[in-house]
A and B are shown apart, each in its own frame.
Chain A
């Protein structure tokens, strides 16, 4: 699943550690999500959307829709 987490994070000049702290997860989790190696749980996806003030669909694109 593609995502725009790194792009959105860069727009806000946030470090991975800062985003991880906002989400309440480990920095490694943020790294893995950004690299597309870990699909977040639904609650975490909602928290990501809340943090970036957007919809989940604005952050993630399923492979089937590419």
Chain B
């Protein structure tokens, strides 16, 4: 928990440099890996994938290099009600995922409907994230 008397935590500048370099290299590596699977417009593929993955890669490298200096760990995090809400929301979303995936398999088998794997994964990902977010919001509202 932060208080007004606590000093704001700062990370050494070298950690930000490491974050930028690692994030850029990781995004470039992913862009390069994607370009290997395309026969045309490899420069365009490299650029698009590198740009699209740059945000998450910078965030990941911030987590690895910088967050240990700027984010103070909460020794009592598990005692908070918000943690229980999160556990309940994600647990419920997982069970919903099992039901939806099972029903989806039945529907696809019956109708012989074809859907791209990447499309299906994105739909499932969005469904589970939205489900967990809604469940958390409902628990928050009930507890407020």
The chain A residues found within 8 Å of chain B, CB to CB, are: 20-21, 23-26, 28-29, 31-33, 35, 37-38, 40-41, 43-44
Contacts and interface: CB of A to CB of B under 8 A. Distances in A.
Interface residues of B, number: 14
B81 A29 contact: yes
Contact of B79 (A21, A37, A44): A44
Contact of A25 (B3, B80, B142): B80
B76 A38 contact: no
B81 A38 contact: yes
B1 interface: yes
B144 interface: yes
Top-7 shortest CB links A-B: A24-B76, A44-B79, A32-B81, A29-B81, A38-B81, A29-B80, A32-B143
Given A21-B1, A21-B3, A38-B84, A43 B79 contact: yes
B82 A41 contact: no
B21 to A, nearest CB: 36
B63 to A, nearest CB: 23
A25 B80 CA distance: 6
A21 B74 CA distance: 12
10 contacts: A24-B74, A24-B76, A25-B1, A25-B79, A26-B80, A26-B81, A26-B82, A28-B82, A38-B143, A43-B76
Contacts of B79: 23-25, 29, 40-41, 43-44
Contacts of A26: 1, 80-82
Contacts of A24: 1, 74-76, 79
A28 B76 contact: no
